[in-house]
Every structure is written in C-alpha cells, then in structure tokens.
C-alpha cells in the first residue's frame, strides 16, 4: 500500500521577521578558470557574439537567471594575477601561465572588458585584488584605475584605454582563500590580517565609499577554522564590512540522505562564523556589526577532480564541468533556503561559477555552439525572481524527521518564506528531503487576512528519476513542473502536496 503523506506544519506570520533580502544574495562568480570566460561568456567567433565578443546566447540565459552581481576575476586565479596584463590594446597583452589552474591565460578579457560586459548586463561587479603574490600598491592602483574620474596617472591610463567614465566599483574582495596551502602566496592569519588591513586602508584612501570583504576560512573543515576568523578580524575589523565563507557539497559514498541535508551544515557554518565575528566585536566594544559574504557556494563533485598539479598545461581546458541532476538541483535550492534563513547577517552570496565550471549554464565552443540550462539553473532563477522583501522565520512545529549519517536527525521539510509588504505577496520555498515519501505542507497564515489570499502557482523540481539531468541533446529534460491542488483553506491554512525528493516554490497573493 502507498505510504500516506505525513504532515509538516509551520506558521507564517509577518511578525516573525528575520531581515530584508539583500538582492546581492543572488550573486554569481566568473573566474578565469576552464571555460567560464573563454567560450563561456566570451567567444568572438560565436554566431551570437556582440561587438565586444561576448556571447549573446549565454547573456540571455544570464539575464533569465536573475543574478544582480558577479564576482571577478577569482578565485584561486587572482592570487597570481597582474591586472595590468589585462588592460590596454588586446594585441599587446602577454600570454601568462596561470599557476592556480595550470592554464595559459591570453588576457583577451580583462578589467575593462569584464566591467563593460557587467555594465551592459546590469550587473554589479565584485572585484578581487591579488594578496597572494602582490599587495598594497597593486590594489590601490587598481581602485584608482577603476574609480577615479581622471587627473591621476592610473585614471588617465584608463581614459587612454578608451574608458572615459570611471567604473565606480563599490565592492572589493581582499584576496581569496588565503588560509589554503594550495593558494599561491598562502599566509598565516597574522600575516594575512596585517596585509589585508593595510591594503584596505590604502584602498579606502583612494575611494572612501567602497565596501571591503576580508577572507574567512576556505571552508569549515580547515584546521584553523574559527581561530583564523578571530585573528584576521582582530587586525581588519575597522577597515572591512564583510567576512567571506566558502562551501561546496557533494554526494559521497552513496549517502544521499546526508547530501540532501547539506543545508544543515551551511546553517551551522554560518552560525559559527557569526558567533566568532560577534565575539571580536564584543572584545573591541565596536558598534559596527560585520556581515557575511558567502561568495563561493555550490554543489561540486570535488572527489572527481584530480588536483591542480596533475593538470596538463592547456589553453581554455575543460575543468570541473559537472552535469547536475534533479537531486543536485534540490540541494542547490535547499542551500538558497539556508542563505535566506540568515538574511539578517548574510548580505552577499555568489553561486560559483556562472558558466561551464560547475555552473548553472553550460555552453559549447565553436561558431554554432549551443548553450543550455542545467537542472540547478531553475531553483536559482525562480528564487532570485520571487523571493524578495522580508524573510520570515518558519520553524516546523510538527513533521517527520530523517536520520542522516553526517548530520544526525534533520527535518524532512526545509523551508523559508519571504513577504513583500507592499504587495502582500508571499513566497514559500520548501524542500522535501524524504526520498521515498511525499509530504503535506500545512502552514497557518497568522497576522494576515488569510481569507483574502490565494495560491498563484506551485512549481516543483522533482522527477521519477532523481538522477535525470539536462544535456545538450536534451536541454529540457529537467524543468519546473506545475503541481495542482495547493490551496488556502477556509480556516486560513496553506495546504500543498510536496513530492518525494523535491524543491518547491509556492506563490501566494491577495485575491
């Protein structure tokens, strides 16, 4: 006999506010790695390329994805990058060996090309400076090149390069993953903290209006996690605005239950970093509260990656081009729920990366190369489009629990709600982590005129085959599907059936 769906209950109440959704929570990441830039966003010989050489088909998908912000140029790449190599006449730019990914970097795309593309796409840039092999002087010069209107050596050079108006980049990363032994120019927390503080001070002297992100731990499993954050903030607290976090998740050893509960790890990781930042704030008796920049996150099957030093040196190699399944998409949707659940402290987040390299978008090279949406594209695009306004806390009051090997017991239902106070619209994001059984979501509408609300739509990422994926041959194998039957009952309760192993979006609006 079929297993009857269990009920999972919570309350939707505008008084349960966590914080406003910062649109930068839906950021992404473009690194000079693999085919993210070349044959990803940029390919002058493609049939859809614009006058600057950027692919129109990929640009259309980026717009549909709904990201408002893109981090650039790295990533590990930035720790050996000389930004001066990527400006000026393209024919004069050097070909360099990128140590991070053992790739030949042609420098045909650099600061002005990327920032011009971002401007045309309506994207806010998040620029990183090299604190691996370089430091204060190169960083302050780049800010001057990008942000000073003119009348100085570096700003006048930008004008000479054909960019008369300043780029006005407001968000800057002070290096990347400097705690990682794999990083070119790896440093101790004290070494990095001192350098980041002095670099940030110099950058602020050029442009006092910029925001700075300082490197936290590369992941929560680093041996210096916690102590790294505390020591770095001890040096940089007065100069920086945000502290970075990075995390990637994958299914290991067939343990899909733990993989589906990855959001539980992200929640704990964020809570630990917040506690550390607030400890430093208390010790310093500071008024300013540091917010978080989760500027690398995604599903990445890192166990399949042989490691940087085992790569053959090549130009534009295919690197970590993972194909994402329904299960992967559900996890991506759940991680977005975790980020929203911490909207009071997570100001910025970047899905890494945008195209080809573990990206929600895939493309093929050649003049007629195709592009398509990965399964993970859909929960990101729909969340970015609809989860706006104020995040509401949704603590399950009842519902089944699942055992996982890595995270212990977790709720089968993972959910968050956003409320647009102006329109009254409610967006419910919900994941059913149970792989075998459906779940009946029941959410009481409290403090709202429930009799005036109706369900606009219920979309789900779910499939009889949880390993189904989109490919060039079948680009629409996995798409959001409409689920019928969701309703607001007469007693003011949202009721919806969630399929097994599914990500769900429900939109409610005043009638």
Closest of 63, 239, 43 to residue 139, by C-alpha: 239
Beta strands in 336-450 (DSSP E): 346-352, 361-363, 371-373, 390-392, 401-404, 408-411, 413-419, 426-432, 439-445
Burial 372-390 (b: 16+ CB within 10 A, else e): bbbbbbbbbbbbbebbbbb
Task: DSSP letter for 51, please.
Answer: T
Euclidean distance between CA atoms 141 and 118, whole angstroms = 21
296 is catalytic: yes
Catalytic residue among 31, 113, 177, 493: 177
Q: Which residue carries 């940087």 as its tokens?
A: 308
Catalytic residue among 84, 124, 296, 493: 296
- 3-class DSSP assignment, residue 438: coil
Angle formed by the axes of helices 56-65 and 377-386, to 10°? 60
Most distant pair of Cα atoms in the chain: their distance? 78
Euclidean distance between CA atoms 29 and 375, whole angstroms = 18
- Can you read off the two tokens belonging to residue 436? 């075998």
The secondary structure element, H or E, covering residue 203 is helix 189-206
- Can you read off the two tokens belonging to residue 14? 């505008």
Provide the 10 A C-beta neighbour count for residue 323: 13
Report the Cα 11 to chain-centroid distance in Å.
Answer: 28
Q: Residues 6 or more apart from 89 whose CB is under 8 A from it?
A: none
Report the Cα 208 to chain-centroid distance in Å.
Answer: 26
Active site residues: 177, 296
């Amino acid at each position: 006999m079929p297993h009857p769906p269990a009920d999972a209950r919570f309350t939707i109440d505008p008084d349960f506010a966590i914080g406003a959704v910062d649109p930068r929570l839906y950021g992404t990441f473009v690194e000079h790695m693999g085919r993210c830039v070349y044959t990803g966003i940029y390919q002058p010989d493609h049939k859809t390329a614009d006058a600057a050489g950027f692919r129109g088909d990929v640009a259309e998908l980026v717009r549909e994805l709904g990201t408002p912000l893109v981090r650039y140029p790295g990533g590990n790449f930035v720790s050996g990058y000389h930004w001066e190599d990527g400006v000026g006449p393209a024919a004069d730019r050097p070909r360099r060996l990128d140590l991070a990914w053992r790739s030949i970097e042609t420098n045909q795309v650099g600061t002005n090309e990327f920032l011009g593309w971002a401007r045309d796409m309506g994207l806010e840039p998040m620029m990183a400076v090299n604190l691996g092999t370089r430091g204060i002087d190169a960083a302050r010069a780049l800010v001057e090149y990008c942000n000073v209107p003119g009348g100085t050596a570096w700003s006048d050079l930008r004008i000479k390069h054909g960019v008369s108006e300043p780029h006005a980049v407001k968000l800057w990363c002070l290096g990347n993953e400097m705690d990682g032994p794999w990083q070119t120019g790896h440093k101790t927390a004290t070494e990095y903290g001192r350098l980041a503080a002095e670099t940030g001070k110099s950058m602020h002297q050029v442009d006092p209006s910029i925001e700075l992100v300082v490197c936290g731990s590369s992941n929560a499993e680093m041996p210096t996690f916690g102590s790294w954050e505390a020591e770095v903030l001890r040096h940089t607290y007065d100069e920086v605005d945000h502290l970075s976090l990075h995390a990637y998740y994958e299914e290991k050893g067939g343990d899909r239950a733990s993989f589906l509960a990855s959001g539980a790890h992200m929640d704990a990781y964020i809570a630990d970093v917040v506690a550390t930042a607030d400890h430093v704030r208390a010790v310093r008796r500071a008024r300013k509260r540091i917010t978080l920049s989760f500027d690398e996150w995604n599903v990445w099957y890192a166990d399949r990656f042989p490691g940087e030093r085992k790569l053959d040196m090549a130009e534009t190699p295919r690197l970590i081009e993972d194909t994402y399944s329904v299960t992967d998409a559900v996890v991506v949707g759940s991680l977005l729920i975790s980020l929203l659940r911490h909207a009071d402290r997570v100001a910025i987040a970047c899905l890494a990366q945008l195209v080809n390299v573990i990206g929600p978008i895939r493309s093929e090279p050649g003049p007629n190369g195709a592009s398509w949406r990965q399964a993970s594209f859909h929960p990101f695009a729909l969340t970015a489009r609809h989860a706006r306004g104020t995040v509401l806390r949704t603590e399950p009051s009842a519902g089944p629990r699942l055992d996982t090997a890595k995270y212990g017991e977790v709720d089968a239902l993972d959910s968050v709600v956003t409320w647009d106070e102006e329109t009254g619209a409610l967006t419910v994001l919900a994941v059913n982590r149970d792989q075998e059984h459906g779940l009946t979501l029941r959410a009481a509408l409290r403090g709202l005129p429930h009799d005036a609300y109706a369900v606009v739509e219920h979309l789900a990422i779910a499939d009889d085959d949880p390993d189904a994926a989109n490919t060039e041959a079948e680009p629409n194998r996995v798409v959001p599907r409409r689920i019928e039957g969701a309703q607001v009952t007469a007693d003011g309760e949202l009721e919806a059936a969630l399929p097994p192993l599914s990500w769900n979006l429900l939109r409610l609006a005043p009638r």
